[in-house]
Each structure stands twice: as C-alpha cells, then as structure tokens.
Structure 1
Amino acid sequence: MFRAPHISLGQESADLMVQRLLSDDFAIEDVLFMSALQVAREVARHRGRPQQVYMVGFDFQPELGYAQVDGAHYETGDDQTRAMMIGMQENFLLNALYTLQGSALNVTHVGSRAYSRLSVDDLVEMFLPDVHDRPDRTSWAVSIVAEITTNHFGDLGRLERMVRAAAAAGADYVKVQKRDVETFYTREQLDAPYRSPFGTTFADYRHQLELSAEGFRFLDALCKRLGIQWFASVLDEPSYRFVMQFAPPLVKLPSTISEHTDYLSHVAQDCRCGIVLSTGMTDRTYENWVLKTFAHAPQLYLMQANSAYPTPPSDANIGVVRHYDRLSKADPRIVPAYSSHDPGWFGSAMAVAAGARMVEKHVKLGNTDWAHFDAVALDLTTPAFRDYVGKVREAEVIVGAEEKAIAPSEHHKYRRTSA
C-alpha cells in the first residue's frame, strides 16, 4: 500500500503546486491531473527515458459542466462557480506545460484548445489507423448485451461509466432493470434486514437501485451519443408502462417472472417491439405456452438461461440454443439467444456455435459483496468484458456460413493432370 499526503487547494498551496510537480515529494493534489503528471515523471525517472503523455478529455469548457450528456449536468454549484473552477484548472495545465518544457515528460493536450497539439481525430488516426476499415456493430450477426441489471446503484455517474465501458468494449446493447418495488415484493420481504450503504432493510436497498424517469432519459441520451442501444427487463405492469414511454427497441421478460402469466399475456397483447424472453427455471410446457401466447410478437428472442449464479457448466445446456435455432428455421420471428450466468466466455462462444444470435453477460464496476449478481458479473474496470466480446466475435467468425463453398484460402496440394 502506498500512502501520500493530501494537500488541499488554497492560495498558498496553489502557488506551490507547479513547484511540487518538479519535486521528489509526491502529494495528492485537489487538481488531480497534477498528481497524475507527477506520477508520470516518476515513471520516466524509474525507466530512465522520456515519457509521452496524452491528455484526452480535458476540454475545459465550462458550458459542458463537469459531466454532461445532451444538456443535462450532474454536479453541484452554479454556472459562475463551475466556470471559475474549470478556468483555474486550465491555468494550472498551462503552467504545467510551460514548466515541463525540456523535461523527461512530453505532455500533449488532445482537443481543440489553442495549445492543443493534436485533435481527437489526429489521435485516433495515430493509434487506430485502420479504425474506419473495421466492421461496425451492424456487420455482426450476433448481438452482445452488457447486462448492467441494477449494478449502477441508482448513481448516474456510475451508470455513465458502465455504459461507456461497455460501448468501448464492443457491446451492442446495455440492459438495465425496472420494477415497482412496493408492489413487486411483499411487505415481509421489504422489511427484512439487508446490509448495504443505503440503509438496513431490503426496501432501502431496492428503492435506491431503481432509476427514475430522469435516469432513463439520461441513459437514452447517453446511448444515442455513444452509438449503443439499451433496453430493460420489466418485471411488472407498472414498470412496463413506465419503460415503454421511452420507446426501447426491445423489452425483456426475465425468468424471475415466468409464473406471472397474466402480466406476460398483457405484454404479449400490448407490445409492438421485440420481446427478449429468458427461459430459466422453465421447461417445454412453458415453451409451448410462450410460443402460443407471443405468436404475434414481431421478434421473439428465446434466451436459454440457467438461473443459478454462477451456473455450473453441467447445467448450462447450450443444446437448448440449438433447439431454438431449429425453431427459428420454421418461424423467422424467433431469435435463438443465450443468457450467460456461467463463468467466463466459453459457454457464450459455444452458444454462438449452436446458433445464438444474441448473448448476454452480467457486468459490474468493481467488486461489491452486497450487490446482487456480483459473483458472476465481469468487472468493467478490468479487460474481462472486452476479452469476452473478443471471444464471442472470434466464435462468430469461426462458425462462418452454413453453405458449403470453396474458401479463397483453399488450394489443391495435388492437382489432377491429364494422362
């Protein structure tokens, strides 16, 4: 464990902050990028060679706020205070750029400011020269869903980080959940003790996790900016009516409510978008009921799932996906799918080979022992979900097409010659 002093921002400490940047005494500054630059200097010293630092995302535009999505700000303080704080930080950056000239640290600001040495497009071209030639999300046959559930904990900043990480990893969708807490659970369940940062009962925990209308508008605007789609598991009729106001492309009905047939029948009659239906804890009888009840759904994603967290490999039953694939041949509305509660990526890759055209994986942001689904979820603060997406895409490429043909890579080692 590394410990360092924290130096609060004040008039005297501000005057010395740039000087501390060049000293050997490390401190946590209120202007955190100054501490980050000091770490980079230490890396350069340790390696014995200059280090290049690219500062990306430091736009220093007060009108955008500290965090901004389509005009919605999530921060405290008025406009004048925000402008003063952001302007002050920009001045520290300018002083740091001047002070570090000729040092072992080469700092390049990326953006559109007068002192920016690269634009964002320049940086992309430098590090990802073939980015425009790569397949976009629409070129893949298999949709990948980052299942956030309620692991955002009702915190819009946390939700934004998760959505951005999922989009950067290559997910096609993010999925959240919505339930009417007071009617979905019994009073006995709500009053039960539950330890979390939000209170001492299960009700305290569940109420905190539910996104408000503002939260869903934030999610919708963010996903549009990032070019990723979203949908939600809706566990009851009030939640269904609530979510449909945002016109999501899909609605999920989780296996948790497979016995709530009155509600499921209502959605089947009312919904005009695609239905993703998880089949955990059900058998062929339920499947027959679903096929009859959802006969008019424009798309019906039949999602093989086992509701154990985590699912033992022996209970994953990927063969069910193959069965759903056969159903889809007779009824093109049906989309075979797989909800992965098994560890890692292998089950999902197998599901793609079995015909799945959608796979879903739980994600989280760091480890939180008191959160649901934490044990099986992939941590977005690590490369785990990006690796998962890569393995699914690799499986999709390897599966290829069903029609037998001569591939461009093939050649005959022994050519037949005439006698």
Structure 2
Amino acid sequence: MPAIQTIQITADRAIGSGQRPFIISEIGNNHNGDMDNARKLIDQSAEAGVDAVKFQTKDIETSFSKELLDSPYTGPNSFGATYREHKYAIELTEDEYSELNDYAISKDLIFFSTPFDLKSVEVLERIGQPLYKLASFHVTNLELIEAIVKTGKPLLMSTGMSTWDEVGAAVEVIRKYTENFVVLQCTSSYPADFKDLNISAIPEISKRFDCLVGYSGHERGVGVSPGTVLLGACVIERHFTLDRTMKGTDHAASLEFMGLRLLVSRVNRYYESVGLPEKMVMESELPNRMKNRGY
C-alpha cells in the first residue's frame, strides 16, 4: 500500500485510492504555436471527457544551448530555418498560457504544464496551476525537481529512458519536501513499439518506491493504455492532436478525438470492473443462485 493513498488536486478532484483514474490530454506543443489550435484541442479534450489538459512551457534561451539553437533545422517538421526559429514559432507566451488556463477552467478542465527550466516554473506559478509534470528527460535534473516540489504542488514524474537508480535519486529529492507525487511508467520514443512499453514496471514502481503510479503512453492507438488500470495506474496520459498528419514531431504518436474519447470510455470501464480481490456472491447473482442452488 503506497505511503500516500490519495492526492488532492483541486477541491473536487483527487488522485489515488477510491478515485477513478486521472486522465490527461497531453497537448504539449501540438498546437504548433497557434492559439486557435490550442482552444480547439481544449474543446475536444473536454468533449472526450478527460480530467486535465497539459502543455509544455520552455524558456528557449535557457532550455537549449546556443550551439543547438543556432544550428540549421530544415526537416519536414521544421517551423524555422534554425532550431531557435523553430522553437520560438511553436512556443506560447505567458499571457497565452494564462488565457488557456482560464479557458480550460471554463470547460471544467484542469490546466497544467510541464516546465523545462527554472524560469518556466516561475511562469507557471504566476499562472497558478494546481500540479506539475516532470518530463522524462529531466529525471536527472535534480535542481529542476527541487524547484518544482518546493512550490508545494503535487508532481507527476515520467520515467522514460531512466534506470531504477536514476528514478530512485529523483524520488529521494522529492521526498525531502512532499509525499504528493506519482511516478509514471513511460517509454520515450515517438511512437513507441509495443514490445518496448514494459507496462509490467508499473506495479514494480509502486513496490520499490511505495508511491502512487501511472502511465504516460506514446504507443499507437488506444489498446494498451486502458489495461494499465489493472496494473495499478491511477494516472493515464496520452498525447492528443487535431490531426496525426499535421506538421510536428509529436502528432504521429498522438490520439485524435475519437481515440481520446474511446480511451476515456475504456479506462473508466476497466476501473469499474476491477472490484475487490475477494470471491463473493454479487447481488446481481442472487436470482441465479437461488434458481440453480435453492439458497
């Protein structure tokens, strides 16, 4: 049993024991820097029935080296001649994130974003989001982890491309400040092959770190993600796009509207069917029991 069984996110939504799985529509940068796209993604996420929409927030000059930013970036997913131009083209401003926060709340959704640097933590604190997400490649960025947990907000941490020792070191830092965290199994390839998903790590994460667990999926289709509920996942995150054929690196590994709606339906059905680890006579069975056994 995890040390913390329930984490309160907002006044009317919690994560953990006795709570239906917390489903996140990971919009990330799939808005392609366009606010109309961002609002449409929020609209469709709300219609699909998710709990939260998540974005990604970066201070470009801080998050990337000058050498990388100055380098040419001319591939099919490029929005600029250099990596700097590309990144600025798809990044939103603080005012735009604040506007999207308000818009998501108006749709009864929780808004939050993944900070990629210390300045972005400050931005998201000013916006007032109720929780944080750490990207997989920042599992070893202990300074960023510490800055996030010092806010006092719950943290969801993806663990793609990480070892047990790396995850353990991150958890050790988190636990200096809070027990309100969830560790997510994740495979950092886009899209991820089914053979690489390793969802059996989900209960092992819970066992090793005595914490709540979840799943951040990058595989194609809906099929695998709902099944993680049976392994103990209380948080499920999937990338979401208006169209998988859109220009950009994450669209191909994302769900479209029908897929997201199906994900929500199946996750909730799996959760409802889990029940208790007991063998008992269900009330719905009583008529057949009486008819066939006489008692």
TM-score by length of 1: 0.61
Q: How far apart, CA to CA, are the structure 1 residues paired with 2:279 and 2:127?
A: 44
Cα contact 1:273–1:298 (8 A) shared by 2: no
Q: How far apart, CA to CA, are the structure 1 residues paired with 2:90 and 2:162?
A: 27
Identify which of 274, 289, 297 aligns with 2:154: 274
Residue 368 and residue 186 in structure 1: after superposition, are their counterparts in 2 closer, same or farther (change >3 A)?
A: farther
The aligned residue for residue 356 of structure 1 is 233
Shift of 1:188: 2.3
Identify which of 323, 329, 333 aligns with 2:204: 323
Cα contact 2:29–2:56 (8 A) shared by 1: yes
Residue 200 and residue 261 in structure 1: after superposition, are their counterparts in 2 closer, same or farther (change >3 A)?
A: same
Identify which of 344, 368, 379 aligns with 2:256: 379
Cα contact 2:202–2:215 (8 A) shared by 1: yes
Residue 294 and residue 252 in structure 1: after superposition, are their counterparts in 2 closer, same or farther (change >3 A)?
A: same
Task: Give per-residue Cα distances to partners, 1:299-351, cap 9 Å, x unaligned.
Answer: 111000010111111111111111234467xx5xx321100111222221221
Trace 1:19-168 onto structure 2 (pairs within 5 A).
141-168=20-47
Q: How far apart, CA to CA, are the structure 2 residues paired with 1:384 and 1:406?
A: 36
Q: How many residues align?
A: 275
Q: How far apart, CA to CA, are the structure 2 residues paired with 1:221 and 1:322?
A: 36
The aligned residue for residue 407 of structure 1 is 282
SS at match of 2:283: coil
Shift of 1:181: 0.7
The aligned residue for residue 128 of structure 2 is 247
Q: How far apart, CA to CA, are the structure 2 residues paired with 1:336 and 1:259?
A: 19
Counterpart amino acid of residue 203 in structure 2: R
Cα contact 1:272–1:298 (8 A) shared by 2: no
Identify which of 251, 268, 273 aligns with 1:393: 268
SS at match of 2:43: helix
Counterpart amino acid of residue 292 in structure 2: Y
Residue 403 and residue 247 in structure 1: after superposition, are their counterparts in 2 closer, same or farther (change >3 A)?
A: farther
Give the structure with higher Rg (CA): 1
The aligned residue for residue 219 of structure 1 is 100
Residue 294 and residue 408 in structure 1: after superposition, are their counterparts in 2 closer, same or farther (change >3 A)?
A: same
The aligned residue for residue 283 of structure 1 is 163
Q: Which moved more, 1:397-406 or 1:217-226?
A: 397-406
The aligned residue for residue 125 of structure 1 is none
SS at match of 1:414: helix
Identify which of 65, 72, 79 aligns with 1:193: 72
Q: How far apart, CA to CA, are the structure 2 residues paired with 1:308 and 1:220?
A: 28
Counterpart amino acid of residue 346 in structure 1: G
Shift of 1:267: 2.8
Q: How far apart, CA to CA, are the structure 1 residues paired with 2:281 and 2:129?
A: 41
The aligned residue for residue 58 of structure 1 is none
Which ranges of structure 2 fall in alignment gaps of 5 or more residues?
1-11
Counterpart amino acid of residue 248 in structure 2: A
Residue 298 and residue 219 in structure 1: after superposition, are their counterparts in 2 closer, same or farther (change >3 A)?
A: farther
Q: Which moved more, 1:166-175 or 1:185-194?
A: 185-194
SS at match of 1:199: coil
Q: Give identity over the alignment, percent.
A: 27
Cα contact 2:78–2:248 (8 A) shared by 1: no
Task: Give per-residue Cα distances to partners, 1:18-45, cap 9 Å, x unaligned.
Answer: xxxxxxxxxxxxxxxxxxxxxxxxxxxx
Residue 405 and residue 324 in structure 1: after superposition, are their counterparts in 2 closer, same or farther (change >3 A)?
A: farther
Counterpart amino acid of residue 265 in structure 1: E
Counterpart amino acid of residue 335 in structure 1: L
The aligned residue for residue 3 of structure 2 is none
Cα contact 1:345–1:392 (8 A) shared by 2: no
Q: How far apart, CA to CA, are the structure 2 residues paired with 1:246 and 1:406?
A: 51
Shift of 1:416: 5.4
Q: How far apart, CA to CA, are the structure 2 residues paired with 1:187 and 1:170?
A: 41
Residue 368 and residue 197 in structure 1: after superposition, are their counterparts in 2 closer, same or farther (change >3 A)?
A: farther
Q: How far apart, CA to CA, are the structure 1 residues paired with 2:221 and 2:159?
A: 20
Task: Give per-residue Cα distances to partners, 1:44-82, cap 9 Å, x unaligned.
Answer: xxxxxxxxxxxxxxxxxxxxxxxxxxxxxxxxxxxxxxx
SS at match of 2:132: strand
Over aligned residues, Cα RMSD in angstroms?
2.2
Which ranges of structure 1 fall in alignment gaps of 5 or more residues?
1-135
SS at match of 1:166: helix
Shift of 1:144: 0.5
The aligned residue for residue 182 of structure 1 is 61
Task: Give per-residue Cα distances to partners, 1:372-392, cap 9 Å, x unaligned.
Answer: 211111123xx2211122121
Q: How far apart, CA to CA, are the structure 2 residues paired with 1:176 and 1:324?
A: 25
Cα contact 1:325–1:356 (8 A) shared by 2: no
